[in-house]
Amino acid sequence: MNELLSSFLEYLSVERGLAKNTIVAYKRDLKSYITYLRTKDITDINSSNRAIIVAYLLEMQKKGKASSSISRACAAIKAFYHFLFREHIIREDPTVDLDTPKLEQRLPKVLNTQEVKKLLSQPDTSNPLGIRDKSMLELLYATGMRVSELISLSIEDVNLETGFLRCMGKGSKERIIPVSSIALKCLQEYILTAREKLLMGKKTKVLFLNRQGNPITRQGFWKIIKRYSKQAGINKKITPHTLRHSFATHLLENGADLRAVQEMLGHADISTTQRYTHLTRSRIKQVYDKTHPRA
């Protein structure tokens, strides 16, 4: 079964062109499922069936796994069996008409504009690292990029003259995003004054570097944003994705077109973007309840 899994993952990478992080998630979910099959003494994929798949998902539920995790595992299993059936490795697909567990609607956590302002003002721009941090934070909030997209940026992806940057999103889909004047100014300062110092004579086209002159990692940036949020006294759990959520919410609160926000975020399905409209409505209701004399 491990060989079948390897073939499936290669198919996702080569033929489907899925992002590395997505493939890693599929691999993790399917390895867990295969381990479960082995505990049931199932070593031939043809011996598995719909009842076993449902039992596995129910066991995940009993273990207290989040509905999002169960839903993702279900999607991975369905894709795996569909691939095996298409390749004539299994005689029938046991996941046909298998319902994916319904997710509870969880609204993303966002910062208000004052909290964003506090966070973005924390870096000390008197040194190269502070200039870099300021540029990265401003750019995340200005564009709504994913952190993986931010740290993958090349210096060639940025056009300071036009105020746009090129971003490679999920599935290697390219999109062009406008950059705010403030973020553009910070980015220009970083490129002209700080990046060369961080390079330390090394040669790389990667835009954002760590103190050793190597590309900054997701973990490295997570530590940066965690430190600044604590420094700003923001009593909310903040992740790098929080600025992406805040970007989308603040645009929609100020009347931005939903399709335009979808394009900037790189969402394949507009329903993913629509969850931010639910968030803005809930905020409007809070304001109404708090301020209307008869609320």
- 241 as an active site residue: the answer is yes
- Please give the structure tokens belonging to residue 166: 């090129």
Each residue's pLDDT tens digit, 11-59: 888 888 888 888 999 999 999 999 999 999 998 888 889 889 999 998 8
Question: For position 280, what pLDDT does the model report?
Answer: 59
Return the bridge partners of 165, or none: 158, 177
Active-site residue identified among 109, 267, 275, 283 = 267
Is residue 146 annotated as part of the catalytic site, yes or no?
yes
User: Can you give the pLDDT at residue 282?
Assistant: 59
The terminus-to-terminus CA distance of the chain in angstroms comes to 60
Catalytic annotation, pick one of 27, 31, 78, 170: 170
Which residues of the chain form CATH 1.10.443.10?
113-290
> Where in the chain is CATH 1.10.150.130?
2-86
- In which band, very low, low, confident or very high, does the pLDDT at 182 lie, cut at 50, 70 and 90? very high
**Is 170 annotated as catalytic?**
yes
Instruction: Supply the pLDDT for residue 196.
Output: 92
Residue 240: the pLDDT is 76
Is 276 one of the annotated active-site residues of the chain? yes
Catalytic residue among 146, 195, 245, 250: 146
Q: How far is CA 104 from CA 54, 69, 83, 241, 269, in A?
A: 19, 12, 29, 20, 18
Q: Which of 166, 241, 275, 283 is catalytic?
A: 241
Whether 211 is a known active-site residue: answer no
For the stretch 64-121, pLDDT in tens is: 887 778 888 998 999 999 999 999 999 889 998 887 665 555 556 788 889 999 999 9
CATH homologous superfamily of domain 113-290?
A: Intergrase catalytic core (1.10.443.10)
Residue 279: predicted pLDDT:
57
Q: What is the pLDDT of residue 293?
A: 65
CATH number 3.40.190.10 given to 2-86: no
Please identify which of the residues 134, 195, 244, 245 carries the catalytic annotation.
Answer: 244
Contacts by residues 11-15 (CB-CB < 8 Å, ≥ 24 positions apart)? 11/83, 12/79
**Which residue, 212, 278, 269, is CA-closest to 245?**
278
Element (H, E) at 176: strand 174-178
Q: Which residues pair with 176 in a beta bridge?
A: 166
pLDDT digits (tens, 9 = 90+) for 207-246: 999 999 999 998 999 999 999 999 999 988 888 788 888 8
pLDDT reported for residue 107: 59
d(CA 148, CA 19): 10
SS (H, E, C) 191-242: HHHHHHHHHCCCCCCECCECCCCCECCHHHHHHHHHHHHHHCCCCCCCCHHH
Of 177 and 240, which is predicted with more confidence?
A: 177
Higher pLDDT, 238 or 8: 8
Residue 285 pLDDT > 70, yes or no? no
| pLDDT tens digits, one per residue of 240-264 | 788 888 888 888 887 777 888 787 8
